[in-house]
Chain A
Amino acid sequence: MITLFTAILVGTLVGYLLRRQERIIRLVDLALWGVIFLLLFLLGFAIGRNPQVMRVLPELGFYALLLALGAILGSVLLTAGLNRLFKLLP
Chain B
Amino acid sequence: MKGTLLILIAFVVGIGAGLGVPDGMDFDPAPVTSMVLYGLLFLAGAAVGGDRRVWQSLRQLQPKILLLPAGIIVGSLLGAAAISFLLPITLRDAMAIGAGMGYYSLSSILIAEMRGEMLGALALLSNILRELLTFILAPVLVRLGGKLGPIASGGATVMDTTLPVVIKYSGKEVIVIAFISAVLVTMAVPLLIALIL
Q: Spell out A's residues near B (CB within 8 Å).
A: 1, 3-5, 7-20, 24-25, 28-29, 31-33, 35-50, 52-54, 56-57, 60-61, 63-83, 86, 88-90
Residue of A nearest to B149 (CB): A76
User: By the criterion CB–CB under 8 Å, are A46 and B45 in contact?
Assistant: no
**Which residues of A have CB within 8 Å of B40?**
32, 35-36, 39
Q: B9 to chain A: closest CB distance in Å?
A: 9
Chain B residues lying within 8 Å of A76, measured Cβ to Cβ, are: 75, 141, 144-145, 148-149, 152-153
Contact B33 A79 (CB under 8 A): no
Closest to B104 in A: A40
Q: Let me know if A64 and B14 touch, CB within 8 A.
A: no
A70 x B83 contact (CB < 8 A) = yes
User: Closest Cβ of chain A: how far from B131's Cβ, in Å?
Assistant: 9
- Dominant secondary structure at the B interface: helix
B145 interface neighbour in A28, A36, A48, A80, Cβ under 8 Å: A80
By a CB distance below 8 angstroms, the chain A residues around B137 are: 72
Provide the residues of chain A in CB contact with B134, threshold 8 Å.
72
Q: Which residue of A lies closest to B150 (CB)?
A: A76
24 contacts between A and B (CB under 8 A): A8-B187, A11-B42, A14-B42, A14-B49, A15-B50, A19-B50, A36-B7, A40-B7, A40-B108, A44-B11, A60-B121, A64-B122, A64-B129, A65-B126, A67-B98, A71-B97, A71-B155, A75-B153, A75-B155, A76-B148, A77-B75, A78-B74, A79-B148, A79-B149
Q: Which residues of A contact B122 (CB under 8 A)?
A: 60, 63-64, 67
Number of A-B contacts (CB under 8 A): 312
* B73 to A: closest C-beta gap in Å: 8
- Check: B159 CB closer than 8 A to any chain A CB: no
Chain A's interface: helix, strand, loop or mixed, by majority? helix
Q: Do A70 and B133 touch (CB < 8 A)? A: no
Complex Cα distance A24/B52, Å? Answer: 13
* Beta-carbon nearest neighbor of B32 in chain A: A42
Given A8-B190, A74-B82, CB of A48 within 8 Å of CB of B149: no
> Top 5 nearest A-B pairs by Cβ distance?
A48-B18, A74-B79, A44-B14, A11-B45, A15-B49
Taking CB atoms, residues of chain B closer than 8 Å to A72 are 76, 79, 130, 133-134, 137, 141, 152-153
Q: Are B18 and A49 in contact (CB under 8 A)?
A: yes
Q: Which residues of B contact A39 (CB under 8 A)?
A: 33, 36-37, 40, 105, 109
Output the residue of A29, A40, A72 with the most chain B CB within 10 A.
A72
